[in-house]
């Protein structure tokens, strides 16, 4: 007769896992699942996950260095573009990823171990991992094959900036995800908003030429600070933009996280319902 | 043992708060009991199951469960269409902290579900019967004290139902079952006791036959 019960009915097995153990296994399972669905949703998925953003950045580099012949203050333009564009794209994909996390993972809330917050954690981890991988691939290729200087100047500060970027993106992502859940129409507006933000953060055009008082207005944008601080810490001879610091985006990130977590606490039941 | 103390539930709708689905339910479910939940469509069976399963929270009141409970097995819920049955099975094993013996568990799920080569195909290509087979097999792969079934066992064909009934008979000495269903024969096959949901209230019956009787009387009126 076939065994119809589970493989190891073991009554001595500990009845309860701690919350931390549950969260750890949920995050691990969700991260693997996110990667699997990235890799399996199309042919050669694993290749495209890396190739798509790389192609996007490389095309920009070619256009601006060869066709437009642009120069950046004190550093090779291609490198300047890489260390500004990649962090911005990472933040944007974290924000868009979190925005869609609840609706994309709706069916998983059947398992009470999985809460919307876990899907935020998993999506953020996957985005950071792929962005770091892309950064390493592109930087490696440019340094070893094209002879560019290594885009690592102050690694610890680079890491600190990366942490602030992730926190700030997560805060915005959670807030937007709650907003989109309450008001689905807002998703389109938020997505649209990122096009001007792309330009206003100095990702593809240097902002040093902007006259006063407009330049001071630009300084309200935390993305601009983050992009430029990352450039300062990764490129040795880079001339920093005036008035840029890490403190302002860090404070924005903390305030944003506070609001995000508070709003999440209030709305978490509605996120799981129906 | 599951203790339900005075739970109320209503949902938020686009036009404000909806009407109360559950109005002050209190009951205790003893361990190792198979309970059928009966009620008309919209009586709150699925709502009650998802509250008992910890997926949803009651608006008011408290649920105490000192046992390991399965997720509510419903139609195709909890599976990602673009991933294969095997990938979904591995995901659920990881979720429940069984990374170390994942091979055995997945082998069990594959054997029990009996969906053949489809196990390695994306779940979105499955029929609803195949989905419920897989869902059911997944939950049997873990040692839960209470299994929650939201009409899922009823979706399988005759052989699946027989297999499920046998599995629950084997589990009867260590696990309980909470099941929502409409089919009288399914309920009689699986359950001893019954909860009858009517107008936001719950009525407990030690014998499932009496719960079914009360349900029929409420329709006749």
- Both tokens assigned to B4: 């339900």
Using the predicted structure, report yes or no on whether residue A10 has a pLDDT greater than 50.
no
Query: Is A112's Cβ below 8 Å from some Cβ in B?
Result: yes
Q: How confident is the model at residue A12 (pLDDT cuts 50, 70, 90)?
A: very low
Query: Is A23's Cβ below 8 Å from some Cβ in B?
Result: no
Which of A5, A16, A111 shows the shortest C-beta gap to B95? A111
Beta bridge partners of B203: B196
Using the predicted structure, report yes or no on whether residue A9 has a pLDDT greater than 50.
no
How far is Cα B192 from Cα B188, in angstroms, rounded to an integer?
7
Shortest distance between the Cα of A173 and any Cα of chain B, in A, equals 23
Give B153's DSSP letter: G
The 10s digit of each residue's pLDDT in B50-60 is 888 888 888 88
Using the predicted structure, report yes or no on whether residue A45 has a pLDDT greater than 80.
no
Using the predicted structure, report yes or no on whether residue B26 has a pLDDT greater than 90.
no
How far is Cα B42 from Cα B198, in angstroms, rounded to an integer?
10
Query: How high is the ipTM of this complex?
Result: 0.81
Side-chain half-sphere exposure of B155, counting CA atoms within 13 A: 20
Which of B53, B82, B108 shows the shortest C-beta gap to A6? B108
Contact B99 A41 (CB under 8 A): no
Using the predicted structure, report yes or no on whether residue A119 has a pLDDT greater than 60.
yes
pLDDT in the model for residue B152: 60
The 10s digit of each residue's pLDDT in B159-192 is 777 777 787 777 767 788 888 887 787 788 788 8
Shortest distance between the Cα of B206 and any Cα of chain A, in A, equals 26
Least confident of A65-79, A190-204, A239-253, B3-17: A65-79
User: Left if phi > 0, otherwise alpha if psi is -120 to 50, otherwise beta: which for A73?
Assistant: beta
pTM of the full predicted structure? 0.85
The 10s digit of each residue's pLDDT in B37-79 is 888 887 888 888 888 888 888 888 888 888 888 888 765 567 8
Across chain A, mean pLDDT equals 85
Shortest distance between the Cα of A101 and any Cα of chain B, in A, equals 14
């Amino acid at each position: 007769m076939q065994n119809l019960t589970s493989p190891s009915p073991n009554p001595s097995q500990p009845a309860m896992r701690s919350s931390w153990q549950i969260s750890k296994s949920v995050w691990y399972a969700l991260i693997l699942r996110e990667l699997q669905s990235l890799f399996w949703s199309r042919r050669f998925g694993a290749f495209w996950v890396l190739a798509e953003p790389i192609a996007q950045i490389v095309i920009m580099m070619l256009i601006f260095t060869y066709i437009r012949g642009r120069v950046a203050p004190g550093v090779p333009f291609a490198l300047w573009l890489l260390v500004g564009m990649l962090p911005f794209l990472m933040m944007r994909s974290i924000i868009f990823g979190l925005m869609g996390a609840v609706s994309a993972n709706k069916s998983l809330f059947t398992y009470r171990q999985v809460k919307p917050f876990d899907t935020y954690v998993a999506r953020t981890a996957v985005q950071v991992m792929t962005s770091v991988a892309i950064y390493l691939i592109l930087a490696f290729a440019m340094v070893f094959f094209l002879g560019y200087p290594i885009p690592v100047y102050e690694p610890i500060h680079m890491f600190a900036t990366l942490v602030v970027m992730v926190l700030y993106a997560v805060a915005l992502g959670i807030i937007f995800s709650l907003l989109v859940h309450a008001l689905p129409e807002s998703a389109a507006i938020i997505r649209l908003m990122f096009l001007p933000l792309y330009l206003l953060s100095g990702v593809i055009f240097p902002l040093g030429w902007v006259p006063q008082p407009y330049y001071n207005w630009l300084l309200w944008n935390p993305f601009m600070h983050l992009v430029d601080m990352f450039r300062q810490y990764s490129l040795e001879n880079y001339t920093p933009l005036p008035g840029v610091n890490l403190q302002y985006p860090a404070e924005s990130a903390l305030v944003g996280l506070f609001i995000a977590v508070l709003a999440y606490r209030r709305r978490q039941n509605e996120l799981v319902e129906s | 043992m599951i203790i339900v103390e005075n739970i109320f539930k209503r949902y938020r709708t686009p036009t404000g708060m909806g009407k109360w689905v559950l109005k002050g339910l209190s009951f205790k479910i003893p361990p190792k009991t198979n309970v059928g939940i009966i009620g008309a469509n919209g009586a709150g069976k699925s709502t009650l199951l998802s509250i008992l399963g910890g997926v949803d929270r009651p608006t008011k009141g408290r649920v105490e469960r000192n046992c390991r409970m399965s997720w509510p097995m419903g139609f195709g819920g909890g599976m990602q269409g673009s991933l294969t049955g095997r990938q979904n099975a591995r995901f659920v094993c990881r979720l429940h902290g069984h990374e170390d013996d994942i091979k055995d568990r997945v082998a069990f799920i594959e054997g029990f579900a009996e969906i053949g080569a489809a196990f390695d195909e994306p779940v979105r290509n499955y029929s609803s019967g195949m989905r419920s087979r897989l869902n059911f097999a997944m939950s049997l792969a873990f040692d839960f004290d209470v299994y929650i079934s939201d009409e899922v066992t009823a979706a399988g064909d005759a052989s699946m139902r027989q297999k499920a009934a046998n599995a629950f008979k084997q589990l009867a000495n260590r696990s309980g079952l909470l099941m929502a269903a409409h089919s009288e024969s399914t309920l009689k096959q699986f359950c001893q006791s019954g909860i009858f949901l009517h107008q936001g209230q719950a009525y407990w019956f030690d014998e499932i036959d009496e719960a079914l009787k009360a349900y029929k009387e409420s329709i006749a009126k």
